[in-house]
Structure 1
């Protein structure tokens, strides 16, 4: 993933090209999501082999400062191996701007339902003439190579070319407008919020499943890779076949909870086996005497 880095760490890495390359090669970018608002957790995940680290600022009460520090921690401790992606808490301009100013390679926009919402997100994430992102005077300084760019380009152009926009569709209305959402050229991938979509369908998994199939078909039609969470490693071939080229292989809280339970269950089983063997040995010994 190092080849997708910008000339300076303070600039966003080229997540857009990484997504395109994975899609073209019919493989995936494998990542992990961090939900715990902790710099220490970010440091641990940044040291892994994940292609990207997602930071979930929607479902966890992050402050803007902590979010910025976690993005920068992933960049620093990952040494360019992992690209930070943030699921922002709202569609508001400031959260998108803070996220990208801190060096994230992309933003996931939750509860996207219309093309107008997508364009508003583009406006917040991209500099003119693509959008209306404001010049960030405290994010990048013209010293130490922070604003360096390839010959013939400015770092404003680099930022526009690198930052990925990933709308999350998770309602009936969003599914109905999915094609319009995908027609925006700045949309790089689509995430489907399966659980919230099921809620919006009145709990009907059948209805939600049919809508998901529709969005998957539209994504293939328009060449938009999909992002999803993996329930097991065995799903990888199936998900690739369905057009999912950004795969979340792990989530911090689930790894901690399920991993702990798995280890405890395995060790309890071995302890019970040892206990039974010793009891049997004692029984045999008693019979022999």
Structure 2
């Protein structure tokens, strides 16, 4: 098993990710071809099944690239986390973590006994049993664990969450956090910036990297300057929508100019 993202987070090498909401292996393969450090496969707000996640993971693994798969599960559920890890992904992101106890529950779910309570099985992660003993003996401590801070309660408890042993990173969920603060999608709201600063400061105090997502490339510099340790710099559906809109508008403008030119020449 590789620990590329784990190492880059620990050494503050500013890993960069891509967000996948479209469950087609080709989308994941493009990201791996571009050598993103990781892709975030979202199963919280999409219709992706475990079979889809497995095929996405296969597409990434098939590329000769350092890219690793991180899966956002729908909730902090031990059974769901176990099934995702048996696919052989590099890590898991859990949304809406609001306390140290919930963070500890997450850490226990990704570790085998005696360090945790992950069920032992010979799935794809263990080469279908061919590397069963080696995988189980080496897995603990190798899984990337990312918790999302995206509620008022999570924000209030962020110091305790960041201090939990076994949590590799915090992740600011900008949409949910802005909504929880009563400033949904007001990205320049002082209240939101103060909350983000609070998460960043907690990460700094407890030596826990902090990341976030932006779908606007104009905000990337701002996020880096704010002190984020890693970023997911775009989302597949946003790329598709934004680039399609831009090309469509450019075509329509070109047609309008051509029509105006022809009209003026008559």
Q: TM-score range by the shorter chain?
A: 0.7 to 0.9
Matches within 5 A, 1:68-87: 68-76=54-62, 78-87=63-72
TM-score, normalised with respect to structure 1:
0.81
Matches within 5 A, 1:1-289: 6=1, 13-21=3-11, 23=12, 25=13, 28-76=14-62, 78-139=63-124, 140=126, 141-143=128-130, 146=131, 154-203=134-183, 205-280=189-264, 282-283=265-266
* Structure 1 residues 216-257: Cα deviation after superposition (integer angstroms, max 9, x where no partner): 111122222212112443433432233322211221111111
TM-score, normalised with respect to structure 2:
0.88
Q: How many Å apart are 1:47 and its aligned residue?
A: 3.0
Cα gap change, 1:221/1:237 in structure 2, threshold over 3 Å: closer, same or farther?
farther
Q: What residue ranges of structure 1 are gaps of 5+ in the alignment?
A: 1-5, 7-11, 149-153, 284-289
Write the distance in 2 (CA, Å) between the matches of 1:259 and 1:55: 21
* Structure 1 residues 1-53: Cα deviation after superposition (integer angstroms, max 9, x where no partner): xxxxx3xxxxx6442112123x1x4xx21221111233343334333332211
Write the distance in 2 (CA, Å) between the matches of 1:109 and 1:86: 9
**Greater C-alpha Rg:** 1
Write the distance in 1 (CA, Å) between the matches of 2:15 and 2:86: 23
Q: Which runs of 4+ in 1 moved over 4 A?
A: none
Aligned to 1:151: none
Q: How many Å apart are 1:82 and its aligned residue?
A: 1.1
- Preserved CA contact (<8 Å) 1:112 1:167: yes
* Structure 1 residues 72-108: Cα deviation after superposition (integer angstroms, max 9, x where no partner): 33222x3343111111111111221122211211111
